Amino acid sequence: MEGPSTEKLRCILLATDLSARCDRAQDRAVQLAREHGAKLVAVCVNETSLGDVLTARRSQVVDRNAAERRFRAGLGSADVQAELVLEPGHAVEVIRKTAEARHCDLIVTGVARDETLGRLLLGTTVEKLAREAVQPILVVRERPHHDYRDFVAAVDFSEGSRQALQAALTLFPDARPLLFHAFFTHQAHAEAAVVEQARARADNEVAEFMKRNAALLNRPDIEWKIEHGLPEDVLPDYVARHPTELLVVGTHGRTGILRTAIGSVAEQLIQHTPCDVLIVRQRQP
């Protein structure tokens, strides 16, 4: 798959360890699979640690039959085509290769509060997955009681943020979008006049962005929020003060979080933002 699809999802990959802490991610993946008529491929990686290798201790062998029963029980009565893949190896490599082999359009994961999920979902591993996987990655924090009703998309007018926005609008067409842009001046304590000049430039860029993407943004519920400050500061604060169900971020943009290509800022958002996060890697021409 080369970047976000403009059609319905055909296959969704769920990264899971089949424990109760993955229920929220699985519920969201099932909801999306049912909505799009997509196949669900759940991947459980039995990852061997370096300590296991050095001490020649065999890693715990997952009982395939028990895992299958646990997975099917979690599906309940959901009418979706589903497959469980159990593989040893490195998490990122197994997930990436499985997503490619099954032609998955989206990767869904969860997060754990106090520990990584099989060293899979927090910290540098999600960063590596976002850099190596071409599919958008949906990080689920909240239990899904319904379809996404709204989302906040970080926009810096770059191609990366445009592709992220396009992916969100395609995946969640009924959600109300708020497009968030943060502008900043290089002065530590800029005068009001300087800030207003920068805001006026941002307003002009919004108008140009809307014009360039008229077909994509031709809907009456598009809203903009423009705030002064660094994106990594003002965006989490805005989401905390204005509860939303989904934050959408792109990689390889011009400024702030979009410049960091899923670095520490995005990791911070995943860990501390109280909503789900959709990460979209920019498709290269």
Q: Specify the pTM.
A: 0.84
What is the number of domains present in the chain? 2
Could you say which of 140, 168, 192 is where a domain stops? Answer: 140
Q: Are 17 and 118 in contact (CB under 8 A)?
A: yes
Span between the terminal Cα atoms of the chain, in Å? 13
Would you say residue 157 lies in a domain?
A: yes
Residues 154 and 117 in one domain: no
Would you say residue 1 lies in a domain?
A: no
Distance CA 158, CA 175 (A): 22
Residues 159 and 131 in one domain: no
Residues 19 and 132 in one domain: yes
The SS3 assignment for 257 reads helix
Residues 250 and 179 in one domain: yes
Task: Find all residues with CB under 8 Å of 108, minimum gap 6, and list them.
Answer: 12, 13, 14, 15, 25, 28, 29, 32, 137, 138, 140
**Boundaries of domain holding 105:** 11-140
Could you say which of 109, 140, 171 is where a domain stops? Answer: 140
Would you say residue 67 lies in a domain?
A: yes
Residues 119 and 234 in one domain: no
Q: How many helices (H) and strands (E) does the chain have?
A: 10, 10
pLDDT tens-digit map of 142-201: 889 899 999 999 998 988 889 999 999 999 999 999 999 988 877 656 688 888 999 999
Q: How confident is the model at residue 258 (pLDDT cuts 50, 70, 90)?
A: very low
Task: Find all residues with CB under 8 Å of 26, minimum gap 6, and list them.
Answer: 14, 16, 42, 74, 75, 110
Task: Report CA 138 to chain centroid distance, whole Å.
Answer: 3
Would you say residue 5 lies in a domain?
A: no
Could you say which of 117, 140, 163 is where a domain stops? Answer: 140
Residues 156 and 132 in one domain: no
Would you say residue 285 lies in a domain?
A: no
For residues 193-220, average pLDDT: 93
Pairing of strands 82-88, 276-280: unpaired
Would you say residue 87 lies in a domain?
A: yes
- Please give the pLDDT value at position 6: 47
Would you say residue 155 lies in a domain?
A: yes
Q: Which amino acid is at 270?
A: I
Task: With a cut of 80, say whether residue 126 has pLDDT above it.
Answer: no
CATH of the domain at 266: 3.40.50.620
Residues 54 and 133 in one domain: yes
Would you say residue 2 lies in a domain?
A: no
Distance CA 20, CA 167 (A): 29
Residues 17 and 132 in one domain: yes
- Please give the pLDDT value at position 123: 46
Task: Report CA 234 to chain centroid distance, whole Å.
Answer: 19
- Please give the pLDDT value at position 128: 75
pLDDT tens-digit map of 226-251: 999 887 788 888 888 888 999 998 87
Distance CA 203, CA 116 (A): 41
Q: Which amino acid is at 117?
A: L
In the chain, the percentage of residues whose pLDDT exceeds 90 is 41
pLDDT tens-digit map of 7-66: 678 999 999 888 777 889 999 999 999 989 999 999 988 766 544 444 333 434 447 888
- Please give the pLDDT value at position 267: 58
- Computed from CA positions of residues 199, 265, 134, 143, in that sequence, does the dihedral angle turn out positive or negative? negative
Distance CA 63, CA 65 (A): 6
Residues 112 and 176 in one domain: no
DSSP for 62-75 reads P-HHHHHHHHHHHH
Residues 79 and 16 in one domain: yes
Distance CA 30, CA 184 (A): 40
